[in-house]
Amino acid sequence: VSVVDAKDRLRQYLEQRKEMGEQDLVLDGLSVDEVLKVLGAPLMPGVAPADAAKAGNPRISGVHHPAQGSAPTQSLRERPAPPITKPVAAAKPAAAAEGEPISVGGSIAEIAGATHASRLATLQDVADAVARCKLCSLHGTAKNPVPGEGNPEAKFVCVGEAPGATEDETGRPFVGAAGQLLTKILAAINFQREDVFICNVLKHRPPGNRNPQPDEITACSPYLLQQLSILQPRVILALGTFAAQTLLQTTRPIGKLRGQIHRFYGVPLVVTYHPAALLRNPNWKRPTWEDVQLARRVFDNAVGA
């Protein structure tokens, strides 16, 4: 793997981190060997991975080595997305060849009765349960629950990863600059924000916008599943890498998930970039436009059907 390739992979990784609004780069939680593997940097023959890093391979401040013993705080997004909850994990994605659409689960009816949130009959019930929830530690660090908001009859659902700072302050999803851009994106396909439902996989903010941990996703995803079970959407728009990879249980990069109609418990799912990413990378505006046009066409076709 050439140095150019390694730089390109590092650039892609950094873009993903920025996409989620992270300002500070912390790469601990991975061994030097793991980071070098992700970057595709060649190891020196006969040199232990840690020594190779010291000897001239990419030098990355904050890389955690197991021998150092410090607690990991973050992980790379290129790691496999953890299964979002037991029922979903039981319904592994149908084997999809590289480049083919992914299908997770059978039908939305499978969710009924399958999770700790199944008894919640309405979106307000879900929001109330989220406000009381202590199933993971995030309730202790977040200021407000952010269960999601929108039209209780919505058939178009936008799903992001987790609340950020502004969302944590307000208790509302996708507010601030990225949220305003999402509102414009929706308007471009003739949806008002009030027409759709907007939420995240996680309902409380991870401290410092760090990556959600697998146990947090496992604990929290039943709320999202129940929201989807109540709404019975015609289309899900997954916003950003982590939401897409988590819902579809894949490590495929977002560039290879876009432009296809995947299935999440039978519901068509379209992937696009996170609005925060667009604010920093105008080159993604056109593909995002194409993605949301696709989502709108799928929605319209479902209405027609």
| Burial (CB count within 10 angstroms: exposed 0-12, middle 13-18, buried 19+), residue 92 | exposed
Out of 77, 193, 204, 263, name the contact with ligand SF4 by CB under 6 A. Answer: 204
Helix, strand, coil percentages in the chain from 3-state DSSP, rounded to 5: 45, 10, 45
> What are 11's strand-pairing partners?
none
Strand 267-272 and strand 235-239: pairing?
A: parallel
For residue 243, state whether it binds ligand SF4 (rule: CB under 6 A).
Answer: no
Least separation, in Å, of the C-beta of 133 and ligand SF4?
A: 3
For residue 263, state whether it binds ligand SF4 (rule: CB under 6 A).
Answer: no
Out of 133, 238, 267, 292, name the contact with ligand SF4 by CB under 6 A. Answer: 133
Rounded Cα gap, residues 242 and 33, in angstroms: 23
Least separation, in Å, of the C-beta of 211 and ligand SF4?
A: 13
Output the CA angle 86-90-91, nearest 5 degrees. 120
Out of 64, 77, 203, 234, name the contact with ligand SF4 by CB under 6 A. Answer: 203
The DSSP secondary structure of 185-227, one letter per residue, reads HHHHTT--GGGSEEEES-SSPPGGGPPPPHHHHHHHHHHHHHH
Out of 216, 240, 267, 271, name the contact with ligand SF4 by CB under 6 A. Answer: 216
For residue 202, state whether it binds ligand SF4 (rule: CB under 6 A).
Answer: yes
| Burial (CB count within 10 angstroms: exposed 0-12, middle 13-18, buried 19+), residue 44 | middle
For residue 220, state whether it binds ligand SF4 (rule: CB under 6 A).
Answer: yes
Residue 222 vs 240, nearer CB to ligand SF4: 222
> Among 16-24, 73-81, 183-191, 198-206, which window interacts with ligand SF4 (CB under 6 A)?
198-206
| Burial (CB count within 10 angstroms: exposed 0-12, middle 13-18, buried 19+), residue 10 | middle
CA neighbor of 43 nearest in space, from 54, 28, 53:
53
Rounded Cα gap, residues 222 and 227, in angstroms: 8
Residue 134 vs 286, nearer CB to ligand SF4: 134
Over the window 137 to 166, marking each residue x when it contacts ligand SF4 by CB under 6 A and - when it does not, the resulting string is -xx---------------------------
Residue 203 vs 263, nearer CB to ligand SF4: 203
Least separation, in Å, of the C-beta of 155 and ligand SF4?
A: 24
Q: How many residues make contact with ligand SF4 (CB under 6 A)?
A: 13
Name the site residues for ligand SF4 (rule: CB under 6 A). 130, 133-136, 138-139, 202-204, 216, 219-220
